[in-house]
């Protein structure tokens, strides 16, 4: 339990949900579409399938609101920001089926949030291969469904996040006051020159995330929309450690003044605590600011993160953070990330 470390309930900003009953838009003709199949003999377990391939074993915390809330209560989590499983970000697909799938996902996430007595807050997915359709779905998700924002991948197909074609989407998100949570894609595969484990999870996801954040920081998005709230999974990857090198590279080879702007813009980002080592937490606070580090567990996936959260946060105090710092990380920082400016 987290209560011995902190009074009050914790806000977890990195957790995933897969609504039951989503269809396969291809009706079985394209094995890339993710399908959730609970086990016939065990309603508490199941799998995410892509065609006939078992993509991932899962349990009912991924789709059952009651089981999710029970697991949160057992670990001292008061509120959780739920986003689609990254495999549900189908930017590889044709725009029309991707838009229909996103609509179904978002309806399911909104229903889960609505059944949670305020303990679950939802993020949408959108078909970013068609920016106009993505804007329309984001507007629907935020203004009609009450979702807090959107989860996007670290790249959109072959496009990086600073691609000019994506600029209207970020402008629309800023106008809506929507939070944007950025999550690595494909489990980190392809981000570094070696593939498989431990490279994909251990290095690929972190590299992929840092590349996406750097593209945003240097691509002018935050210059144009300084109030736009970007949160990054997995502690924003390696960027907290690499930031001085990126800044130096910009000062030597970049546009004049870009290095100073990079350091300032870096503190506009939010990063979660999913770094697996409390010794890293003070550096996150140093890079991103005391108000921009927030709890993230990747529930219900990475083993031990919910149960181990108390130890991680206590370890942050042992490594130099104050109790006030930890209380903000555990609660108010996360709420500030996903709360739209026009509502609590």
pLDDT at 283 over 50: yes
Q: State how many domains the chain has.
A: 1
- Structural domain including 121 reads 10-338
**Is 276 a member of any domain?**
yes
**Is 112 a member of any domain?**
yes
Return d(Cα 120, Cα 134) in angstroms, integer: 23
| Cα distance from N-terminal residue to C-terminal residue, the chain | 27
Look at strands 34-39 and 270-272 and give their pairing.
unpaired
Return d(Cα 210, Cα 216) in angstroms, integer: 10
- Sign of the torsion angle spanned by Cα atoms 81, 86, 87, 93: positive
Closest CA to 18 of 52, 53, 72, 60: 60
pLDDT at 1: 44
If you search the block for the tokens 């007595």, which residue do you land on?
Answer: 117
pLDDT band, very low/low/confident/very high, at 344 (cuts 50, 70, 90)? very low
**Is 217 a member of any domain?**
yes
**Is 34 a member of any domain?**
yes
If you search the block for the tokens 């609101």, which residue do you land on?
Answer: 65
**Is 68 a member of any domain?**
yes
pLDDT band, very low/low/confident/very high, at 201 (cuts 50, 70, 90)? very high
- pTM equals 0.95
Return d(Cα 169, Cα 159) in angstroms, integer: 14
Return d(Cα 220, Cα 95) in angstroms, integer: 27
pLDDT band, very low/low/confident/very high, at 251 (cuts 50, 70, 90)? confident
What is the CATH classification number for the domain harbouring 82?
A: 3.20.20.140
- 83-137 pLDDT, tens digit each: 999 999 999 999 999 999 999 999 999 999 999 999 999 999 999 999 999 999 9
**Is 139 a member of any domain?**
yes
Return d(Cα 119, Cα 128) in angstroms, integer: 28
Return d(Cα 36, Cα 113) in angstroms, integer: 19
pLDDT at 270: 98
**Is 343 a member of any domain?**
no
**Is 4 a member of any domain?**
no
Residue 10 · residue 23 · CB < 8 Å: no
């Amino acid at each position: 339990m987290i209560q011995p470390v902190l009074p009050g309930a914790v806000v977890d900003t990195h957790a995933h949900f897969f609504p039951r009953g989503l269809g396969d838009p291809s009706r079985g003709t394209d094995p890339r579409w993710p399908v959730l199949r609970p086990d016939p003999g065990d309603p508490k377990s199941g799998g995410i399938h892509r065609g006939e391939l078992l993509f991932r074993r899962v349990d009912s915390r991924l789709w059952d609101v009651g089981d999710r809330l029970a697991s949160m209560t057992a670990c001292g989590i008061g509120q959780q920001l739920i986003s689609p499983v990254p495999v549900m970000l189908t930017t590889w697909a044709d725009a029309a089926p991707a838009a229909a799938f996103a609509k179904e996902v978002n309806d399911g996430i909104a229903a889960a949030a609505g059944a949670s007595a305020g303990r679950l807050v939802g993020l949408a997915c959108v078909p970013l291969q068609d920016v106009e359709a993505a804007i329309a779905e984001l507007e629907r998700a935020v203004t009609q469904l009450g979702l807090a924002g959107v989860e996007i991948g670290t790249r959109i197909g072959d496009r990086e996040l600073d691609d000019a074609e994506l600029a209207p989407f970020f402008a629309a998100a800023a106008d809506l006051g929507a939070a944007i949570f950025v999550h690595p894609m494909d489990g980190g595969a392809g981000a570094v020159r070696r593939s498989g484990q431990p490279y994909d999870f251990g290095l690929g996801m972190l590299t992929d995330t840092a590349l996406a954040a750097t593209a945003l920081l240097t691509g002018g998005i935050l210059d144009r929309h300084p109030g736009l709230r970007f949160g990054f999974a997995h502690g924003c990857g390696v960027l907290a450690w690499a930031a001085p090198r990126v800044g130096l590279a910009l000062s030597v080879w970049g546009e004049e003044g870009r290095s100073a702007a990079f350091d300032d813009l870096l503190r506009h980002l939010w990063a979660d605590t999913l770094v697996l080592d409390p010794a890293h937490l003070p550096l996150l606070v140093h890079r991103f600011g005391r108000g921009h580090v927030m709890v993230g567990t990747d529930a219900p996936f990475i083993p031990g993160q919910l149960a181990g959260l108390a130890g991680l946060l206590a370890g942050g105090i042992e490594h130099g953070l104050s109790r006030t710092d930890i209380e903000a990380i555990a609660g108010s920082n996360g709420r500030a990330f996903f709360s739209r400016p026009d509502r609590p």
